[in-house]
A and B are shown apart, each in its own frame.
Chain A
Amino acid sequence: MAAARRNPWVPVAGLAALAAWPLVEPALPASLQVGEPLTEVFIYAILALGLNVLTGFTGLLNLGVAAFAAIGAYAYSIATCEVYPFQLGFWPALAVTGAIGALAGFALGAPTLRVRGDYLAIVTLGFGEIVKDVLVNLDAITKGTQGINPLPPPSLLGTPLEARGQYWLYLGFVVATFVGVRALERSRVGRAWISIREDELASRAMGIRPDRAKMLAFATCAALAALSGALLVSRLSSSGEPSNYGFEVSIIALCIVIVGGIGSVRGTLLGAFVMVGMNSIVLVRLTEVLGSGAEGMAAAAPAADAGMLAHAWHFVRTWAHNVLLTPTNWKFLLFGLALVLMMVFRPQGILPPRAVHEDPPQPVPPGSEGVRA
């Protein structure tokens, strides 16, 4: 069973590689430079780690996690932007954002404790839609679709950080989130969550209070999602518009958790790289290649002449010209196909969670028979 332990050097090496990346990247050929999307991976990783607490550990399907990110993004924007009187700095604003996020988690979690399974899924989905609509409609407060800008960049010890500094800071946030979620997972809190997912009734019968545990899970998820929202907008220096925190974001976060391996912290982290990487790097590159190929095909197509066959050929060519030869038109298809294939071939996710979290204490104290004495 001990063989199930994974090599502890893998995460260390991964972290070192990530930390060194900004220094290495400029030396690489342009085609291998990734740049921006990596910071996006970090933001999605934090969001997905939060969702993993709720959906992965506790087993509560949340289809509206983007709403918490939106709340975080707007809380941060309103707290820092110069068009409002608050104008907090980066760190105080982050603290406020986390608190507001947790509060939002409570606000959604408390009344819906009795709502189970897929009913809860639609409650969270509805919450996501409501938050988005409210942010658009209360434009006197949120500036509606205008977005709030400019926002101060992330700073450390009073120094605003440039791209590379932001990268490391965000990497630090991911590591801290990872460590924190891992710590929770391996404590009574995480055990309570997982026991609820495994068998809520049995865990109740063992004295676990699912309501409290679920509320904590909701609050943790919401606070982390809010944090990711705040980090996102502070990097972009703009809150963007509310539709940027729509259902699609929730879906990507959910896909990260499930593709990574439901309930697995490492898997979630890896899932963020796979999904965002696929979205922002592979799909983009792939359409570039298809684009160059498509132009060639369009040029090579022979002219139409008379006859049934030629007519059909003309039909296909026009069709191809209309949509098929535009590579960006294939993105939905490739993305969807990748999801289906990943699930069909690896339904448990890339890195499913390990069964073992707590090892038995090694030195057994002798003569501990009289338990109840």
Chain B
Amino acid sequence: MLRKTASALAACAISALLIAAAPSAPAATGSAAPPSLTIVSSLPRTGSANSQTTSIVNGIKMAIEERGGKIGEFEIRYEDMDDASPQKGNWDQNIEAANANKAAKDPTCVGYIGTYNSGAAKIAMPILNKAGLVMVSPGNTYPGLTKPGAGEANEPKIYRPSGTISYFRVVPTDDIQGAVACEFCAKDLGSKKAFILHDRELYGKGIADVFKKSAPGMGIEVAGFEGIDPKASNYRSLVTKIRSTGADVVFYGGTTQTNAAQILKDLRSGGCKVPFVTPDGTFENAYIEAAGKDAMAPESGSVYITFGGLPSEQLTGRGAEFVERYKKKHGEVPEAYAVYGYEACKVLLDAIDRAATKNDRAAVLAAVAATKDFQGALGTWSFDANGDTTNRLMSINTVKDGKFAFVKAAGGGTGQAK
């Protein structure tokens, strides 16, 4: 009896595998199909970052649709890879490596959009670089990936074993954003004493570190600098600590997933009404929804969010067009991340076009690197020598009536933010 069930189970598993194998088979064997190029994205699709990555993927798909799914004679195929595992509910180094290797081996693949997490980029970058496959990230903000001297001494050289730069990103880096946030606290909020929190992750701690470094120069005293436990149920004891220091602003380097809303709620219910400033990891509706009406109400104290670009409703030109189309298709205003995905894919498609539409990774790579004065949804920008966007425009936002409201632009279009 038991044997029977076991073998039945095994049969089920095998047939599931076969079914799973089926749909991709024709693409590999069919010779009559039109020539195609593949763009893949590798983002954490399982678990807590799912809503952001969904909007990125929506953006990518829109960019491809705009081109009619074709460039020249080539059909553009898109594969949405997941670099998260269900057990972790977050990106997994093994899966990211597997994704990168799979893309590197696929002869039709000419572009890799990803990753979302900078840590994952560190794994994928050398693999893709060796394969000469261009990588455009819609989400990595760790400066060391591209900027010499910003991270470890051997960064970013180690991510470029082949010697050429094959990694580009359409988002401004943490060092710019952290400084902008600090400047805003000092100049606009008139803060004198800041309590800095971070989630101990690459992104959150990176920004908090920059904030801390910039603070003395802006006349802000650092009342405290603490890494929190992003899985804690509440932060009331920390709030008590913050209250006892008399800080007049709280900066949290973290994301919605690492409990930014919970900190805000505990601050407010603990009677602490100082402004609460967070980076773009919280620039999504989920943050407002997670925090709830009371914590976001103006009488509880103000809330600010920095963002590496302009919010959707402030976009003009192509950006505004994108927002319109997105609204029409999905029935909602796109989240901030959608634009990044859209822009990353658009720049890639543009490069494929300029590379005379060939299945040639080197040509595509060269074309991406040569991107100059690109008229995208995020404005007009170029890739600099490191592979970073020259777009340094930041915005400061707040929350008003349950919606993000633009406060001011900061950072400047081309100037150095520091």
Residues of A within 8 A of B (CB): 29-32, 35-37, 40, 82-83, 136-137, 143-147, 149-150, 163, 232, 235-238, 240-241, 243-244, 246, 248-249, 251-252, 278-289, 291-292, 326, 328-329, 331-332, 334-335, 341-342, 345-346
When C-beta atoms are compared, the residue in chain A nearest to B13 turns out to be A282
- Chain B, residues 48-61, CB within 8 Å of chain A (1/0): the string is 00100010000000
Surface stretch bound by A, among B14-22, B184-192, B276-284, B335-343: B14-22
Q: Report whether A149 and B158 are in contact in the complex, using a CB–CB cutoff of 8 Å.
A: yes
B86 proximity list for chain A (CB < 8 A):
279, 283, 331-332, 334-335
- Nearest CB in chain A to that of B202: its residue: A145
Q: Are A31 and B122 in contact (CB under 8 A)?
A: no
Known: A147-B122, A237-B126, A241-B119. A36 touches B102 (CB 8 A): yes
Contact B21 A244, beta carbon cutoff 8 Å? no
Q: Which B residues are in CB contact (< 8 Å) with A288?
A: 20, 23-24
Chain A contacts for B46, CB-based, 8 A: 328-329, 331-332
Contacts of B85 in A (CB 8 A): 248, 279, 331
Given A248-B87, A345-B5, A345-B9, answer yes or no on A284-B82 (Cβ-Cβ < 8 Å).
yes
In the bound complex, residues from chain B placing their C-beta under 8 Å from that of A244 are 88, 92-93
Q: How far is the CA of A244 from the CA of B201 in the complex (A)?
A: 12
Can you report 14 residue pairs joining A to B where beta carbons are below 8 Å apart? A29-B29, A32-B21, A83-B152, A144-B205, A145-B200, A145-B201, A146-B144, A147-B119, A149-B158, A150-B158, A246-B88, A249-B87, A279-B86, A280-B98
Tell me which of B6, B101, B119 contacts A240 (CB under 8 A).
B119
Does B153 lie at the interface of the complex (its beta carbon under 8 Å from any beta carbon of A)? yes
Residues of the A chain whose Cβ atoms lie less than 8 Å from the Cβ of B227? 136-137
Q: A40-B94, A150-B158, A236-B93 known; A286 and B16 CB under 8 Å?
A: yes
A287 touches B16 (CB 8 A): no
Indicate if B95 sits at the interface (CB-CB under 8 A): yes
List B90-149 residues whose CB lies under 8 Å from chain A. 90, 92-95, 97-98, 101-102, 105, 119, 122-123, 126, 142, 144
**What separation, in Å, do the CA atoms of A225 and B85 have in the docked complex?**
21
Given A288-B23, A292-B23, do A36 and B97 touch, yes or no (CB 8 Å)? Answer: yes
Q: How far is the CA of A331 from the CA of B47 in the complex (A)?
A: 9
Q: Which residues of chain B have C-beta atoms less than 8 A from A136's C-beta?
A: 200, 227
- Which residue of B is nearest A292, CB measured? B23
Q: Are B24 and A31 in contact (CB under 8 A)?
A: yes
The answer to whether A36 and B50 have CB atoms under 8 Å apart is: no
Q: Are A163 and B101 in contact (CB under 8 A)?
A: yes
Q: How far is the CA of A277 from the CA of B163 in the complex (A)?
A: 35
- The distance in angstroms between the C-alpha atoms of A334 and B46, with both chains bound, is 13
Cβ of A146 to closest chain B Cβ, rounded Å: 6
Residues on B lying within 8 angstroms of A by beta carbon are: 2, 5-6, 9, 13, 16-17, 19-25, 27-29, 45-46, 50, 54, 80, 82, 84-90, 92-95, 97-98, 101-102, 105, 119, 122-123, 126, 142, 144, 151-154, 158, 161, 200-202, 205, 227
Most buried by A among B80, B105, B144, B200: B200
User: Which secondary structure dominates chain A's binding surface?
Assistant: helix
Per the bound structure, the CA–CA distance linking A143 and B152 in Å amounts to 9
Does B101 lie within 8 Å of A35, measured CB to CB? yes
* B202 partner, pick from A31, A241, A278, beta carbons under 8 A: A241
Q: Are B25 and A29 in contact (CB-based, < 8 A)? A: yes
- B43: min CB distance to chain A, Å: 10
List chain A residues, Cβ under 8 A from B152.
Answer: 83, 143, 146
| Given A30-B25, A248-B88, CB of A36 within 8 Å of CB of B98 | yes
Closest-by-CB residue of B relative to A276 is B94
| Shortest Cβ distance from residue A324 to the other chain B in the assembled complex, whole angstroms | 13
With A and B bound together, what is the CA distance between A143 and B85 in angstroms?
Answer: 24
Task: List 11 extra interface pairs beyond A144-B200, A252-B87, A328-B82, CB under 8 A.
Answer: A30-B28, A35-B102, A83-B152, A143-B152, A145-B119, A145-B201, A145-B205, A150-B161, A285-B21, A328-B45, A341-B9
C-alpha spacing A35/B99, complex, angstroms: 10
* CA of A335 to CA of B142, assembled, Å: 33
* Chain B residues with CB under 8 A of A281: 17
User: Which residues in A have their C-beta under 8 angstroms from that of B2?
Assistant: 345-346
Distance of A291 Cα from B46 Cα, bound (Å) = 13
B50 x A286 contact (CB < 8 A): no
Bound form: Cα–Cα A291–B93 in Å: 23
Q: How far is the CB of B199 from chain A (nearest CB, A)?
A: 9
List chain B residues, Cβ under 8 A from A326. Answer: 45, 50, 54
Query: CB-CB < 8 A to A284: which residues of B?
Result: 82
Q: Which residues of B contact A240 (CB under 8 A)?
A: 93, 119, 123
With both beta carbons as reference points, the residue of chain B lying nearest to A345 in the complex is identified as B5
A37 touches B6 (CB 8 A): no
**Chain A: CB-nearest residue to B27:** A30
In the complex the two chains form, is B17's CB within 8 Å of A285's CB?
A: yes
| Residues of the B chain whose Cβ atoms lie less than 8 Å from the Cβ of A147 | 119, 122
Are A335 and B87 in contact, with the CB atoms below 8 A?
yes
| CA distance in complex: A281, B29 (Å) | 21
> Which residue of the partner chain A has the closest CB to B94?
A40
Instruction: Report which residue of B2, B5, B86, B153 has the largest number of chain A beta carbons within 10 angstroms of its beta carbon.
Output: B86
> In the assembled complex, which residues on chain A have CB atoms less than 8 Å from the CB atom of B20?
282, 285-286, 288-289
Q: Give the chain A neighbours of B23 by CB distance below 8 A.
A: 31, 288-289, 292
User: Are the CB atoms of A146 and B151 closer together than 8 Å?
Assistant: yes
Q: Could you tell me the distance in whole angstroms from the C-beta of B407 to the nearest C-beta in chain A?
A: 30
**Which residues of the other chain, B, contact A40 by a CB distance below 8 angstroms?**
94, 98
Task: A292 to B22: give the CA distance in the assembly, Å.
Answer: 12
CB of A239 to closest CB in B, whole Å? 9
Complex contact A287–B92 (CB within 8 A): no
State how many angstroms separate the Cβ of B94 from the closest Cβ of chain A: 5
Are B202 and A146 in touch, CB under 8 angstroms? yes
* Contact call A329/B50, Cβ cutoff below 8 A: yes
Chain A residues with CB under 8 Å of B25's CB are: 29-31
State A152–B200 Cα separation when bound (angstroms). 27
Q: In the assembly, what is the distance between CA of A288 and CA of B46, in Å?
A: 13
Shortest C-beta distance, B363 to chain A (Å), equals: 24
Q: Give the complex CA separation of A281 and B154 in angstroms.
A: 35
Quote the shortest CB–CB distance from B266 to chain A (angstroms): 21
Q: Which of A243, A252, A328, A342 contacts B90 (CB 8 A)?
A: A243
